[in-house]
């Protein structure tokens, strides 16, 4: 079960890859500067996850206008995430939770997803500039998408 709104957001430092560069994605880098939307998703190269990240990429300007940085997190390696992002033209930052510690910290780790082992549930969190979770949603099943209108409404309230 996802940690609830009102909780202090667990800090994380995850890897992301674009081109020849491997970089660290840290929650601490955004605190005090911008709100953060964390989108946990099970696996790259799957239908629902691809549709979700492509839709978010298409609407990225709307999140930026609401003073938010969007980060997608899955248990895939940064190399797989980069290949997927290139193939599908995904423009948001993708961060690898290969060791599954961040999904566990946010309460979204599913122990055995479809026989593939542990993976993240699909979930959305809005974290304010102070590092407090203002919105938390774990979808009933990995096939369901988060309520993006509720995410945007919460971001508008924080602006």
Question: Of 27, 37, 49, 126, which residue is the catalytic one?
Answer: 49
Separation CA 80–CA 76 (nearest Å) = 6
Residue 145 DSSP label: P
Token output for 37 = 């939307």
Query: What Å distances lie between residue 118 and 21, 82, 104, CA to CA?
Result: 28, 21, 10
Separation CA 2–CA 87 (nearest Å) = 30
Whether 35 and 132 have beta carbons less than 8 Å apart is answered as: no
- Among this protein's residues, is 49 annotated catalytic? yes
From the number of C-beta atoms within 10 Å of its C-beta (0-12, 13-18, 19+), residue 60 rates as: middle
Separation CA 37–CA 125 (nearest Å) = 6
**Residue numbers annotated as active site:** 49
């Amino acid at each position: 079960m996802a940690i609830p709104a009102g909780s202090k957001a667990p800090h994380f430092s995850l890897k992301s890859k674009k081109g020849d560069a491997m970089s660290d994605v840290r929650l601490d880098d955004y605190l005090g500067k911008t709100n953060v939307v964390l989108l946990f998703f099970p696996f790259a190269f799957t239908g629902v996850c691809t549709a979700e990240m492509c839709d978010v990429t298409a609407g990225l300007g709307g999140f930026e206008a609401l003073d938010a940085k969007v980060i997608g997190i899955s248990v895939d390696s940064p190399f797989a995430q980069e290949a997927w992002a290139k193939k599908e033209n995904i423009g948001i930052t993708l961060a690898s939770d290969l060791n599954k510690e961040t999904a566990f910290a946010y309460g979204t780790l599913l122990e055995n997803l479809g026989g593939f082992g542990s993976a993240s549930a699909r979930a959305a969190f809005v974290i304010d500039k102070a590092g407090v979770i203002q919105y938390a949603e774990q979808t009933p099943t990995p096939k369901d998408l988060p309520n993006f209108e509720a995410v945007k409404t919460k971001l508008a309230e924080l602006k």
